[in-house]
């Protein structure tokens, strides 16, 4: 899964984590691994302009998604024919995300992670215009974010165990391959 991210917001952002969570969400949604996604982080002025231009709504918003109309043959991003296709673009505003995070009582990093997954789901055709759609999309979004955090914990645990094992092997005179 290729995710390209460009930060034009002028603010520091957890770019590696955003790429990783986008790739994770796409993988969990069984999108063809050859598919590509573009992410752009922008300032509030740029986001307000895009929000007005594309949604006819004033002021900046947190995230906008622009799926490619022809990116999914037969509506299936996991189809073999979807290889090498551009899924679309996600535009995220870190400043708006930080404001929302403060209001919600969690970190701006977490808010941007949630918004990235939200954007991925929009790219894949999910919406929240109707109550039933909203319930489905936000439940899936929550599950994906929770799974991603669990995968990070599992990875950290495995790395810690690996370091412990390497240290133990060295203390008894063996290298990591088990030979001296």
**At 131, is the secondary structure helix, strand, or coil?**
helix
Phi-psi region at 50: left, alpha or beta (left = phi > 0; alpha = psi -120 to 50): alpha
Strand-pair partners of 40: 6, 91
Amino acid 170: pLDDT:
82
Write out pLDDT tens, residues 43-72: 999 999 999 999 999 999 999 999 985 544
CA 14 from centroid of its chain's CA atoms: 11
Please, which residues have CB within 8 angstroms of residue 50's CB and are 6 or more apart in sequence? 42, 64, 91
Give 73-83 pLDDT, tens digit per residue. Answer: 344 555 555 45
Calculate the alpha carbon distances from 19 to 36, 67, 154 in Å: 11, 17, 19
> Which of 88, 69, 100, 99 shows the shortest CA–CA distance to 22?
88
Query: pLDDT tens across 98-126, in order?
Result: 999 999 999 999 999 999 999 999 999 99
- Residue 118 annotated as part of some ligand binding site: yes
Count CB neighbours of 32 within 10 A: 20
| Residues in Cβ contact with 153 at an 8 Å cutoff, skipping those fewer than 6 apart | none
Closest-CA residue to 93 (of 105, 111, 117)? 111
> Under CATH, what is the fold of the domain 2-69+82-172?
Collagenase (Catalytic Domain) (3.40.390)
Annotated domain spans of the chain: 2-69+82-172
20 is in an annotated binding site: no
pLDDT confidence bin for 163, thresholds 50/70/90: confident
Q: pLDDT tens-digit profile of 2-31?
A: 999 999 999 999 999 999 999 999 999 999
Q: What is the mean pLDDT of the chain?
A: 89
Asked whether residue 122 is marked as a ligand-binding residue, the answer is yes
């Amino acid at each position: 899964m290729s995710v390209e991210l460009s930060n034009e917001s002028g603010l520091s952002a957890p770019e590696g984590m955003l790429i990783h969570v986008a790739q994770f969400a796409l993988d969990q949604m069984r999108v063809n691994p050859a598919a590509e996604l573009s992410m752009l982080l922008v300032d509030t002025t740029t986001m307000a302009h895009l929000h007005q231009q594309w949604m006819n709504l004033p002021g900046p918003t947190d995230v906008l998604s622009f799926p490619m109309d022809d990116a999914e043959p037969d509506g299936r991003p996991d189809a073999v024919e979807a290889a090498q296709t551009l899924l679309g673009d996600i535009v995220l505003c870190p400043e708006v995300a930080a404001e929302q995070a403060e209001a919600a009582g969690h970190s701006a990093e977490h808010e941007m992670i949630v918004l990235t997954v939200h954007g991925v789901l929009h790219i894949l055709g999910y919406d929240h215009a109707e109550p039933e759609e909203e319930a489905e999309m936000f439940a899936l979004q929550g599950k994906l974010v929770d799974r991603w955090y669990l995968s990070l914990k599992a990875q950290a645990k495995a790395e810690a165990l690996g370091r412990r094992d390497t240290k133990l092997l060295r203390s008894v005179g063996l290298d990591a391959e088990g030979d001296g």
